[in-house]
């Protein structure tokens, strides 16, 4: 069963696992501090010609495979990727896109890996989900970052060639709160008394751990060959204990698949409930130290989150094409529907958003490839921003297509029309707001990184811990920091109408970002001063802070991306500037609204109302409507 922990204990577990040091500069971190470091993202790093040639060659092979072997309607109908398609992906090396060549992989750049996922996802989301789960969060990435050389040489050639991998973290009662993890990895040289299913189980063997527990929502979990499992090691003499990571073959005795999960979308995804019953894992299969598991998971997700942005970009670019073609051909009231203002506004939103999302991905992926910047905030912003905005893009595409947007591709084909899978795309894209950290959790994780410098400078004062002397020392430390920092937020380049003039008509948006970055930093400071330790409870306020930062990053990336396109492809310069202006104007308006709502809102009233709903004060509102799912608790009792 899941471990019962307090709110503080749960927070402490995640805090201990986060990467505390900032060894490299971070555009995102400085942006939240009011320091607009445009030099960190502009000019964009140039791509290595050899990497480009390798990437383009692979994309050509992938397109050929998709065009000749994949029937999207078959995957949707059968809820399964055909074996010959999986074999084809293995043959062209798609399982090893991110594995270095010395371990048998292709060693593609992050940028080309992202482009590959975007292309695969357009054919069917189950394809990009298979590939992303396999190498963004599966065996390859944890071993690349934390594995020993022996582990890399043993496991990476297998997952690069033909062994599908999965990542087993989530449990039935453990979503975004890993401290509640109940799966136990028992050092087998210990002899505790067995008490129950999720308790430590004694087994008279040597040289490793014995894992018992159940894992939920393991993507690739019904077809995997090798997996990474997160399990809690009890602390004891000689054992550091804590959540730890293990790599093991999926056919290890004691592992069984209880159920293949079915979802609203992503038909064809191989997602499992997996039971581990007294599974022996050799000590050499533990990745890094005991207790490093959550750190491994969080670090793996840093660049892994760019995969979801790649999927968002692919879908948004596809939506632009479908919307343009449909709105040009469909005639109502004597004119193509795209010439009617109501639809034209949607077309502009779709196209502008696709450009902005692609810009964010391009800038972030190049930063990840360049390896001279810390991209954890940028990757997290891409995940939450990309999943939210692309969902709106697809929603608008459904509206543009009208009844045909709601009709399945199979039905359209059956009556002789082009099988455009808009409704499928909408179902598939919805999960991106939940996958790999829900939008609500991502807001909190990003907010924690955004206030990191403040906690270092004034954490003792804000949290109110310690005796009188400690508080006095904390006050002095905070005074020194803020005495230097706050004055820097008063003026900046954004107030000079000639700043950034080398960006031409887009310069005004960079000036806006510079001014707004300082305003955002001041707003964060005001919130900390107002609520102090209670700020962590103001999740909606923190969410708006993060969303403003995301809009400012999006504007910055869009201007930088358009500038690069203009220099490298002069024939597209005018169009790139127009799309950038379109997107930046929309993003600026959203950011201005968020700034206003930081202090003018009804958050407290709505929170109070929600507590009354929970208490049953308004349960009479539910009367007269039956619940087809029946009575009983929402969370069933666990073994």
For 269, the enclosing helix (H) or strand (E) is none
Residue with tokens 């929402």: 634
| Topology classification of domain 49-161 | Butyryl-Coa Dehydrogenase, subunit A; domain 1 (1.10.540)
Cβ-Cβ contacts under 8 Å for 297 (sequence gap 6 or more) = 17, 142, 167, 169, 178, 230, 245
Other Cβ atoms closer than 10 A to 308:
27
Q: What is the dihedral of CA 143, 148, 149, 155, to 10 degrees?
A: -40
Residue 183 pLDDT > 70: no
When mean pLDDT is compared across 287-301, 398-412, 415-429, 515-529, the lowest value belongs to 287-301
CB 397 within 8 A of CB 350: yes
Q: At what angle do helices 539-568 and 573-599 cross, to 10 degrees?
A: 170
**pLDDT score, position 200:** 27
* 117 DSSP assignment: H
Which pair of structure tokens corresponds to residue 290? 């005991």
**Cα–Cα distance for residue pair 329/317, rounded to 1 Å:** 19
**Cα–Cα distance for residue pair 602/461, rounded to 1 Å:** 29
**Cα–Cα distance for residue pair 167/182, rounded to 1 Å:** 16
Cβ-Cβ contacts under 8 Å for 84 (sequence gap 6 or more) = 69
Q: What percent of the chain has pLDDT over 70?
A: 91
**Cα–Cα distance for residue pair 272/559, rounded to 1 Å:** 42
**pLDDT score, position 129:** 96
Range 206-232 average pLDDT: 93
**pLDDT score, position 91:** 98
CA distances from 619 to 610, 611, 615, 624 (A): 12, 12, 9, 11
State the average pLDDT for the chain: 91
Range 353-367 average pLDDT: 98
CB 547 within 8 A of CB 59: no
**pLDDT score, position 538:** 95
Q: Say if domain 296-447 classifies as CATH 1.20.140.10.
A: yes
Listed by start position, the domains of the chain span 7-28+448-602, 49-161, 165-291, 296-447
**pLDDT score, position 202:** 22
Range 197-208 average pLDDT: 46
Residue 297 pLDDT > 60: yes
CATH placement of domain 7-28+448-602: 1.20.140
Residue 627 confidence class, pLDDT cut points 50, 70, 90: very high
**pLDDT score, position 182:** 52
Catalytic machinery residues: 436
**Cα–Cα distance for residue pair 268/412, rounded to 1 Å:** 21
CATH placement of domain 165-291: 2.40.110.10
Which pair of structure tokens corresponds to residue 293? 């598991």
CB 160 within 8 A of CB 90: no
**pLDDT score, position 433:** 96
**Within this chain, domains 7-28+448-602 and 296-447 share the same CATH topology:** yes
Residue 392 pLDDT > 90: yes
């Amino acid at each position: 069963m899941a471990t019962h922990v307090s709110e503080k204990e749960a927070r402490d577990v995640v805090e201990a696992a986060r990467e505390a040091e900032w060894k490299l500069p971070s555009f995102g971190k400085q942006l939240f501090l009011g320091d607009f470091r445009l030099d960190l993202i502009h000019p964009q790093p140039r791509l290595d010609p050899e990497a480009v040639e390798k990437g383009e060659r692979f994309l050509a092979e992938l397109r050929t495979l998709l065009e000749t072997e994949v029937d999207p309607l078959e995957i949707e109908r059968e809820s399964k990727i055909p074996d010959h398609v999986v074999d084809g992906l293995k043959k062209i090396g798609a399982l090893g896109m991110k594995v270095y060549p010395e371990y048998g992989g292709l060693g593609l750049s992050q940028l080309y890996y992202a482009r590959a996922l975007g292309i695969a996802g357009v054919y069917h989301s189950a394809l990009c989900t298979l590939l992303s789960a396999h190498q963004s969060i599966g065996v390859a990435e944890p071993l690349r970052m934390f594995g020993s050389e022996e582990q890399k040489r043993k496991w990476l050639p297998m997952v690069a060639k033909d062994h599908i991998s999965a990542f087993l973290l989530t449990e039935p009662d453990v979503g975004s709160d890993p401290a509640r993890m109940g799966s136990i990895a028992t050092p087998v040289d210990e002899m505790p008394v067995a008490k129950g299913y999720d308790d430590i189980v004694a087994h008279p063997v040597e040289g490793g751990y014995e894992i018992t527990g159940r894992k939920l929502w393991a993507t690739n979990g019904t077809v995997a060959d090798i997996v990474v499992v997160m399990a809690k090691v009890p602390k004891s003499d000689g054992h550091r204990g804590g959540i730890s990571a293990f790599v093991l073959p999926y056919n290890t005795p004691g592992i069984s698949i209880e159920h293949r999960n079915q979802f609203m979308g992503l038909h064809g995804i191989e997602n499992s409930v997996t039971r581990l019953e007294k599974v022996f894992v050799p000590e050499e299969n533990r990745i890094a130290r005991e207790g490093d598991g959550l750190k491994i998971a969080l670090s793996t997700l840093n660049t892994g989150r760019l995969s979801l942005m790649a999927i968002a970009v692919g879908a948004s670019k596809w939506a632009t094409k479908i919307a343009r073609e449909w709105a040009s051909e469909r005639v109502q009231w004597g004119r193509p529907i795209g010439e009617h203002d109501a639809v034209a506004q949607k077309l502009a939103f779709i196209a502008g958003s696709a450009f902005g999302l692609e810009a964010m991905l391009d800038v972030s992926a190049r930063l990840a490839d360049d390896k001279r910047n810390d991209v954890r905030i940028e990757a997290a912003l891409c995940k939450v921003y990309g999943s939210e905005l692309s969902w709106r893009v697809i929603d608008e595409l459904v509206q543009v297509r009208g009844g045909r947007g709601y009709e399945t591709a199979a039905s359209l084909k059956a009556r002789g029309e082009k099988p455009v899978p808009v409704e499928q795309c909408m179902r598939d894209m919805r999960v991106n707001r939940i996958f790999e950290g829900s939008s609500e959790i991502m807001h909190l994780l990003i907010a924690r990184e955004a206030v990191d410098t403040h906690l270092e400078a004034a954490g003792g004062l804000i949290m109110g811990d310690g005796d009188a002397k400690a508080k006095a020392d904390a006050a002095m430390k905070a005074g020194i920091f803020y005495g230097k920092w706050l004055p820097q937020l008063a003026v900046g380049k954004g107030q000079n109408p000639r700043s950034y003039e080398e960006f031409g008509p887009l310069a005004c948006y960079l000036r806006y970002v510079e001014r707004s970055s300082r305003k955002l930093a001041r707003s964060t400071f005001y919130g900390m001063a107002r609520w102090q330790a209670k700020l962590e409870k103001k999740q909606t306020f923190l969410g708006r802070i993060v969303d403003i930062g995301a809009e400012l990053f999006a504007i910055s990336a869009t201007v930088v991306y358009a500038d690069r396109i203009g220099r490298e492809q002069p024939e597209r310069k005018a169009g790139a500037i127009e799309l950038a202006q379109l997107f930046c104007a929309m993003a600026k308006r959203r950011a201005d609204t968020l700034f206003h709502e930081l202090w003018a809102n009804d958050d407290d009233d709505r929170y109070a109302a929600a507590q009354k709903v929970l208490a049953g004060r308004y349960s009479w509102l539910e009367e007269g409507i039956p619940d087809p799912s029946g009575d009983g608790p929402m969370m069933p009792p666990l073994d």
